[in-house]
Amino acid sequence: MSKVALITGGTRGIGAAIANKLKTDGFRVVSTYVGKDESAQAYSKQTGIEVIKSDVSYFESCKAAVAEVEKKYGEIEIVVNNAGITKDRFLHKMSPEEWNSVINTNLNSLFNICRNVIEKMRAKGFGRIVSISSINGLKGQVGQTNYSAAKAGIIGFSKALALENANKGITVNVIAPGYVGTDMVKKIDPTILKGIVGQIPVGRLAEPEEIAALASYLVSDKAGFITGATFSINGGQYMQ
């Protein structure tokens, strides 16, 4: 039987590319979405990937989504925490809502999802958790105190969870993409974006599929010795 993979925010952008790749790899993939029903259903129809409406910023919503997938397909062995939002603004202008919504969606979501799958992964002795951070969680970015904090938090969370579960066949890793050609990046002011692309040595935005290729490897059986690691895919924009 195919292993079951849950991809949050998996109907657009990087998440959709990862879902598509894992389906090609032979996994039973379920993607979550929170926004537009119509476009999520269109994605599902086009790809054959099942979609579930679930808000990753709420624990109960994640619990329900996990239970629904388990009931239909069995235990979830692969999780890709991809769902994320931006609400860019200088801190001196940022509202509590702009802060909290980004922290809830981009960071608290990891607790909300992982808490609902980790016990069964431990009992089974197998699991793969990959979370999508960002170059801006590593280096910081103007207008992104909320986003950079959440994306940096993903790295600490993943290292701790990797340690807790290293002897249980569960790996926990992070991908930190740079600027990828998705809706999120395309909504940056064109003049600002042009300046950002100018700082990328490779000279272009990444393709979502370039992120998906690494996610595919990290969730594979071959990657059992990789855990607690953070991988940059940023075209040379930031080297640690």
| Residue 185 interacting with ligand CAA (CB under 6 A) | yes
Q: Tell me which of 44, 47, 141, 237 binds ligand CAA, using CB under 6 A.
A: 141
Nearest-approach distance from CB 221 to ligand CAA, in angstroms: 29
| Residue 147 interacting with ligand CAA (CB under 6 A) | yes
Nearest-approach distance from CB 196 to ligand CAA, in angstroms: 6
Nearer to ligand CAA, 101 or 141 (CB): 141
Segment interacting with ligand CAA (CB under 6 A) among 30-38, 45-53, 112-120, 140-148: 140-148
Judge whether 147 counts as a catalytic residue. Answer: yes
Residue 22's nearest CA partner among 170, 176, 220, 207 is 220
Q: Tell me which of 134, 145, 146, 158 binds ligand CAA, using CB under 6 A.
A: 134
Nearer to ligand CAA, 176 or 218 (CB): 176
Q: What whole-number distance in Å separates Cα of residue 117 and Cα of residue 100?
A: 24
Tokens of 196: 């950002």
Q: Are 144 and 86 in contact (CB under 8 A)?
A: yes
Nearer to ligand CAA, 63 or 89 (CB): 89
Which residues, in sequence order, are CB contacts of 123 under 8 Å at separation 6+?
Answer: none
Residue count of the chain: 240
Q: What whole-number distance in Å separates Cα of residue 141 and Cα of residue 138?
A: 9
Nearest-approach distance from CB 139 to ligand CAA, in angstroms: 10
Segment interacting with ligand CAA (CB under 6 A) among 8-16, 71-79, 105-113, 181-189: 181-189
What is the Cα Rg of the chain in Å?
17
Q: Tell me which of 184, 197, 226, 233 binds ligand CAA, using CB under 6 A.
A: 184
Q: Which CA distances in Å does 57 have to 5, 68, 112, 115? A: 19, 17, 7, 13
| Residues from 60 through 119 that contact ligand CAA (CB under 6 A) | 86, 88-90
Helix (H, G, I), strand (E, B) or coil at 187: coil
Q: Amino acid identity, residue 166?
A: A
Instruction: Given the residues 33, 73, 147, 179, select the one marked as catalytic.
Output: 147
Across the beta sheet with 4-7, the strand order is 50-53, 28-33, 4-7, 76-81, 127-132, 170-177, 230-233
Segment interacting with ligand CAA (CB under 6 A) among 3-11, 59-67, 69-77, 128-136: 128-136
Residues that bind ligand CAA (CB under 6 A): 86, 88-90, 134-136, 141-144, 147, 179, 184-185, 188-189, 192, 196
Active site residues: 147
